[in-house]
Structure 1
Amino acid sequence: MADLPGGASWRETRRRELLTFARRSVRPEGGFVWLDASGRPEPGKGLELWINARMTYVFALSALLGESDDLRLADHGVRTLRTLLHDDDHGGWFDAAGLDGSVPDTTKRCYGHAHVVMAAATAASAGAEGGQELLAEALEVHGTRFWDDTAGRCREELSRDWSLVDPYRGANSNMHTVEAYQIAADVTGDQVWRDRALSICAGIIDRNAREQGWRIPEHFDAAWVPLPGYNEDRPADPFRPYGATPGHAFEWSRLLLQQAAGMLEPPVWIEEAAEALFQQAVADAVEPDRAGLVYTTDWAGLPSVRERFHWVMGEAVLAAEALSSRTNRPGHAAWARRWWSEIDEHFIDDANGSWRHELSPDLAPSSRTWTGRPDAYHAFNALTLPGLPLFPSPSAAAGDARPRGQEPGR
């Protein structure tokens, strides 16, 4: 009998197809481009930092998993991050660069820099050329410019020369920082990064999300006071939407379990929070009469943006798989089976080999928020991580790269 959606051989087949599509993003002159649904460069798009960092991560992890030819693509990504998107005058990275080398916006943002840390750590683990040097700089920049030791969380935006700090604070960039810091800790053996990841989780999840009934506040002022009405007039914003984002609750749930797995004595609230976030996201995002999961809700849990995004599905199955593995409680595996089936039926594009990034509430292709197929990161993780332990992080686990003397929790 053929392997069911979500099974090991099914995921391996789909991962190979996804990588074939993703390799079309390589730009010979440097960088990875934003692809359209057919795998061609999206017109009018330059080089995005988050896409280039994510694709570097994907190809580096693919190399660690045995796709040796992808190491050269990881090399390609490292070179791009050290040149085309790098600020040689002030350090750090620009959010984007035109194909002509122009830089339309010089603001430095935590979100993109967190992805550079993730990419650099994975590339270094894979042995990519320049990976260690990129990792050293990325950790130095992120750890000194964005990390706020007083708040125990990260600043969001700074001016090019680092002299001005924007008052906005965001949960999304801090969530990706948790992921990046976990990987950095496992690749380097320096536990300060995992300690900082725990601090972020404690502030945003154990404090803010708990106070909000496990719907995560996404937007804050400079004092980390939640801004519940932020972007109410822009509910479908791709990076700062109004309201609660169930997909992020699933993502945080998995990251919390990864955090606990890497600690000898994890705080008791971590597993409680991981389960509570998952259950609230299920209650808010699942619509009983149709497949997929809504993008955002208001603070009462009513759908705000009902489009279905591929990354939400990917994070949902990862959270379900992680909870099933970590807790052995009933129910999680059933959700994973349901969502894998929906991914197989509605999101995977058999003709092109990628995942459809956005569907309408009626499950037709949509571009309200996203156009094309910008990157492979969420889909690649969904197809890869269920086959790896929660600790160490995949970038270390895949290459058996845990530093000597670093022991798992449980």
Structure 2
Amino acid sequence: MDFSADDPAPPEWTREQGDGLVAWAGRSRQEHGFAWLDDDGRAREEQGVQAWITARTTHVSALHARAHGGAAAGLAEHGVRSLRGSLRDAEHGGWLSTVAFDGSPVDTDKAGYQHAFVLLAASTAASADVPGAAGLLDDAAATVLDRFWDAETGRAAESFDRSFSRGEDYRGANSNMHMVEAFLAAGAATGDPAWAQRALSIADFLIRGQAAAHGYRLPEHYTADWRVLPDYNRDRPADPFRPYGWTPGHSLEWARLLLHVEAALEEPPAWLAPAAEDLLSTAVAASWAPDGADGFCYTLDWDDRPVIGERMHWVATEACAAAHALHTRTGDPGYASSARRWWAHVREYFVDTAQNWRHETDPHGRPSATVWSGRPDVYHAYTALSFAAGTPIPGYAVRGAGAAPEGRTHA
């Protein structure tokens, strides 16, 4: 299909790419879940079967089956069975982080990040009427609320040992961000408005509190009593889940999530949509081409200097999705223009001929593996394609177009 700067993500292309991404994800199917793939689509046995990859692949497969049917339904059913079977800890409850290809436990810690995605997958699969998903949703919701949700602070704990007897002395914005996403999906699947209120509680602290206090640069790392750790992992800046500095891609993701929180609430607070705009504008100003080359820099220090200059497909796709959502919310054509610009970048640097997408490039657009090697999953790419196509996703609603919040215009 020809590339058009006027519409780099036309309907036929987004459908074609969505089909291709789901087919690519199907290569990762293993007996006990879904595996991490290398650049050639081969399962990496050394990575085992990880709960977050299995859950995200289940989520995407359920979305695709809900919209288009086909083989994705079988992938979603397999994911639900795996999450109710081999990855489920029958002795202590919750989900193991990783099992080997033979199903034996490898990493038995219970991480909030993984559990958020199990709840997301269960919610999406239940909304798509995947067999077994309703039971998985009941289990995931009870586990998250009983083990991870701290009603006193209105935020989620980070991780525990296998028996949930010892918690980690750390709190993370990343896992809590994905809890927001999962809570919104759970609310859509169950009709229970309490889930949206929990999502708002997390957003209120991390965005209206912490991000706003730091110029809409969100601190990611905290002590167990929620004090900021600005130098966390300074000596390990390329950690794939807890990198040093601030992560503009998460600001872009949060910008979209705030609009979903707003849409899920009957009486949303007025700060949500303006904060979404502030998050996006700050992230774009600081991270787009800070070294002179197009693309979003992965991480920045607290003076907005690049720390990890590599470009990630997930950051670019979250920028596209956020721009689509803000255009829907505000009616501002500048966001549609930004989406086109960023889709053109995605197509030039991340989409390859096999209809699967590179995860990382260096600042010059060459394939890189500084943070992410191989192609573990298609979750971010598929989400962005859904926004470009206007395909509904449970929990991802956005209020209709109107005046820009507080009279703002796109910058």
How would you bin the TM-score normalised by the shorter chain? over 0.9
Offset, 1:389: 7.2
Shift, 1:388, TM fit: 3.6
- String of CA shifts for 1:324-359, please: whole Å, max 9, x gaps: 110122421221111100111110011x21010010
**Residues 376-385 or 34-43, more deviating:** 34-43
Q: Answer with 328-337 or 230-239: which moved more.
A: 328-337
Give the distance between the partners of 1:108 and 1:100, measured in 2 at CA. Answer: 20
Residue 304 of structure 1 aligns to a residue in which SS? strand
3-state SS in 2 of match to 1:340: helix
Say whether 1:6 aligns with 2:28.
no
Unaligned runs of 5+ in 2: 401-411
Per the alignment, residue 361 of structure 1 pairs with 363
Query: Do 1:264 and 1:409's aligned partners in 2 also have CA atoms closer than 8 Å?
Result: no
Deviation at 1:261, TM superposition (A): 1.6
Give, in whole Å, the separation in 2 of the partners of 1:349 and 1:113.
Answer: 31
Q: State the alpha-carbon separation in 2 of the partners of residues 336 and 380 from structure 1.
A: 15
- Structure 2 match to 1:200: 202
Aligned 8 A contact 1:261 1:391 in 2: no
Name 1:313's counterpart in structure 2. Answer: 316
Counterpart for residue 339 of structure 1: 342
Residues 343-395 of structure 1: per-residue CA shift (max 9 Å, x gap): 11110011x2101001011110001111111001011111113334788525x
The one-letter code sitting in structure 2 at the alignment partner of 1:119 is A
Alignment partner for residue 299 of structure 1, among 297, 302, 307? Answer: 302
Residue 14 of structure 1 and its aligned partner are, at CA, apart by 1.5
The answer for unaligned runs of 5 or more in structure 1 is: 398-407
Structure 1: how far apart are the matches of 2:97 and 2:237?
23
Give the TM-score normalised by structure 1: 0.93
Q: Which amino acid aligns with 2:24?
A: F
State which of 176, 185, 200 in structure 2 corresponds to 1:174: 176
Identity across matched positions, percent: 47
Mapping 1:264-275, distance limit 5 Å? 264-275=266-277
| Equivalence for 1:67 | 69
Is it true that 1:156 corresponds to 2:158 in the alignment? Answer: yes
* One-letter code aligned to 1:277: L
- Across the two proteins, how many residue pairs are aligned to each other? 396
- Give 1:21's match in structure 2, choosing from 20, 24, 32: 24
SS of 2:307's partner is strand
Deviation at 1:102, TM superposition (A): 2.7
Cα RMSD, aligned residues only: 1.7
CA distance in 1, matches of 2:34, 2:363: 30
Matches within 5 A, 1:359-398: 359-388=361-390, 393-394=395-396
CA contact (8 A) 1:60 1:71 kept: yes
Deviations 1:109-154 (A, max 9, x none): 1000000000001111112121000000000000111000111100
Contact preservation (8 Å) 2:259, 2:399? no
CA distance in 2, matches of 1:80, 1:391: 23
1:160 deviates by 1.5
Q: Is this contact kept in 1: 2:59–2:76, CA < 8 A?
A: yes
Q: Which residue of 2 aligns with 1:96?
A: 98
In the other structure, the counterpart of 2:222 is 220
Paired with 1:143 and 1:21, the residues of 2 have a C-alpha distance of 34
Contact 1:79 1:130 in 2 (8 A): yes
* Structure 2 match to 1:41: 43
Find the residue that maps to 1:59 and give its secondary structure: helix
Contact 1:262 1:409 in 2 (8 A): no
Report Cα offsets for 1:211-254 as digits up to 9, x if no partner. Answer: 11100010000111110000011111100000100000000000
Counterpart residue number, 1:281 = 283
Task: Give the letter for the 1:23 counterpart.
Answer: G
Q: Which residue of 2 aligns with 1:400?
A: none
The alpha carbon displacement at 1:52 in A equals 0.2
